[in-house]
Amino acid sequence: MTLRSVVRGTGHYLPDRVVPNSWFEERLDTTDDWIRSRTGIERRHFAAEGQATSDMGLRAARAALDKAGLRPDDIDGIVLATSTPDHTFPASATMIQYGLGMTHGFAYDVQAVCAGFVFALANADAMIRAGMARRVLVIGSETFSRIMDWTDRGTCVLFGDGAGAVVLEGQDGAGTSDDRGILASDLNSDGQYRELLYVDGGVSTTGTAGQLRMQGNLVFRHAVEKLAKTAHVALDKAGLTPAQVDWLVPHQANARIITATAQKMGLPMDKVILTVADHGNTSAASIPLALSVADSQGRFAPGDVILTEAIGGGLSWGSVVLRW
């Protein structure tokens, strides 16, 4: 028997404020057509004043627990993927733990920018398989609207705020690719590309939060190549091929990257979950958001093979293959 980390429930939360592309037309030298044609984004959500990353993560966590039919007491730990925490410390995961009324287990943050949820998912899976936990809440939550340069039309139109969560539960499997749950993962980082996508602030450098900076064309080239490669590596580890993938749930960076990666893998777009038009790029929240939205729409069937992949600042990138 092999212990597998199975998705018991999903949940998500989006702030009430919806920001259409027309909002940027009024403030920048840009148009709705320009944004749509280059990114596929039509609207995004921004957190309200005073609404923190942990507030949204808590809402998504509660929704995932409800979907799983579980209570906070049933959870052994929380792993939160975020690059926009409430505070330098403590971890925003502990704020979510407190909000759930949990006084047991672990709670900590993982920071791998847009790839954060994939890293957090693999981390939680490893702890479950090692016997350190049976059930783990894995959350992605971001407030990227707080680190935008609103004069840079190449970046500020891309990002939105939101949160998504999954409940992972350890269940016995046969140790084959037919098992439910996480089958394989692949994680990578390479700091030589750190200046392609970063925030120009920090506690030990400027003492400020800073603003996001990105070399978009170079990020695009690296993204398509590295996402396709990590996906193939994870599928090989799982003993599967791209033809056996039922759903690709990618990081929702922009429609061009998603389409190019799917084409490079030979996957038709009707097998790709796309939420970027409505959410924008929500960084570490994008994959759990997309998973939860698709799950709520009944798009996943038991036994479906789901491939997730993401790339973010660092550069950091990776993928997780699971069976629903």
Q: CB 278: neighbour CB atoms within 10 A?
A: 17
Q: Can 254 be counted among the known catalytic residues? A: no
Q: CB 244: neighbour CB atoms within 10 A?
A: 13
∠ CA 102-107-112, nearest 5°, is 150
Dihedral, 235, 241, 244, 249 alpha carbons, nearest 10: 40
Given the residues 21, 123, 254, 281, select the one marked as catalytic.
281
∠ CA 240-246-251, nearest 5°, is 95
Given the residues 114, 123, 156, 279, select the one marked as catalytic.
114
Q: Can 251 be counted among the known catalytic residues? A: yes
Q: Can 156 be counted among the known catalytic residues? A: no
Given the residues 45, 222, 251, 279, select the one marked as catalytic.
251
Catalytic residues: 114, 251, 281
